Amino acid sequence: MITLEDVRAAQSRLGGVATRTRLIELNHQDSDGRRLFLKPENQQPIGAFKLRGAYNKIASLSPEDRKRGVISYSSGNHAQGVAYAARALGVKAVIVMPDNAPAIKREATAALGAEIVIVGPSSAERQIKAEELAAQRGYVIVPPYNDEQIIAGQGTMGLEILEDLPEVETVLAPVGGGGMLSGVAAAIKLNRPSVKVIGVEPEVASDAQASLRAGKIVQFPAGDVSRTIADGLRTQSIGPINFEHIRRYVDDIVTVTEDEIREAVRLLAANPKTLAEPSGAVAVAGFLFHHDELPNTKLNVAIISGGNIEPKMLEELRRG
């Protein structure tokens, strides 16, 4: 389990590297007087929050390990985070990506200097391939979520939320593999235990909710999770380390439908500062459409985890 000191150390490492994203209030009329502030991680240099954990992990490696190079597996945003961090730190990076990863994410990762290896669509397949290559070539694995340094890096968002809105009552965060949710929840609860932390994920890829309900990790078939438009949340199960943090610090996990995700993307696209890819819009969708499942709180924050949306998809969603 990470400590508050781990998150603060990550915050120090990320100074001058990750953007200090500032909260933006959503112009949303709510009869109950609820207010929603957005944490716009789409404003990071790679367009997503994943830079935080990736940089913290690679920056924590010994000089000897950095010389070995790093390898990771990702559908897109973590791939860019690792590639960006590795380039900044002078480390070779190899990324295993699924063949259904959006072209915009694959091309951006290659442009950052990473070597790309393409495999099938399942999250298990890309992890296995990365582990094989690490064993063969000596690379250090930089996991997308199941790692304490990754979790601590993502947790820096929680510290920033508390700094910007000390009176916050509820924080909503997307959940795929669980790195963001576990880090943000730990950072917030270790500072302010009274703040509610809620995970939000697609209904068709609701393995995190199923795991929290069952008290053990539940894995979903690749064919099921691949049906969601939220490509960054197509993980088949949350990580064991993430699960322990989620069980201890997360109050609940709610799910949203594909139509609700699309509607949230359309709403957020009205402001260029809050442009979100489908994965990045799920927390907002949870706030907008699942009022009855959320704490009855006035000051709320939803994290926009990323804005790397294919232009064609954005145009289609805007047309409805």
Question: What DSSP string describes 174-195?
Answer: E-SSSHHHHHHHHHHHHH-TTS
Output the pLDDT for position 134.
Answer: 97
Average pLDDT over residues 167-191: 98
Q: What percent of the chain has pLDDT over 70?
A: 99
For 53-101, what is each residue's pLDDT tens digit? 999 999 999 999 999 999 999 878 899 999 999 999 999 999 999 898 8
Same domain, 62 and 25: no
pLDDT score of 320 more than 80: no
Domain boundaries, position 232: 4-48+147-319
Same domain, 13 and 123: no
Q: What backbone phi and psi angles, to 5 degrees, belong to 167?
A: -90, 5
Output the pLDDT for position 81.
Answer: 96
Q: What is the pTM of this model?
A: 0.94
* HSE, side-chain direction, 13 A CA sphere, residue 296: 3
What's the domain count of the chain? 2
For 219-255, what is each residue's pLDDT tens digit? 999 888 989 999 889 888 999 999 999 999 999 999 9
Output the pLDDT for position 220.
Answer: 94
Per-residue pLDDT band at 276 (split at 50, 70, 90): very high
Collapsing DSSP states into helix, strand and coil, what is residue 123?
helix
For 255-268, what is each residue's pLDDT tens digit? 999 999 999 999 99
For 121-162, what is each residue's pLDDT tens digit? 887 899 999 999 999 999 999 999 999 999 999 999 999 999
Per-residue pLDDT band at 39 (split at 50, 70, 90): very high
- Cβ neighbourhood burial of 297 (10 Å; 0-12, 13-18, 19+): middle
Average pLDDT, rounded, for the chain: 95
Tell me how many degrees the CA angle 1-143-249 measures, rounded to the nearest 5.
30
Output the pLDDT for position 124.
Answer: 83
Same domain, 137 and 217: no
For 5-31, what is each residue's pLDDT tens digit? 999 999 999 999 999 999 999 987 777
Same domain, 267 and 120: no
Same domain, 165 and 290: yes
Same domain, 90 and 216: no
Same domain, 162 and 250: yes
Same domain, 127 and 162: no
Tell me the pairing of strands 115-119 and 93-98: parallel
Collapsing DSSP states into helix, strand and coil, what is residue 278?
helix
Per-residue pLDDT band at 104 (split at 50, 70, 90): confident
Same domain, 285 and 296: yes
pLDDT score of 318 more than 90: no
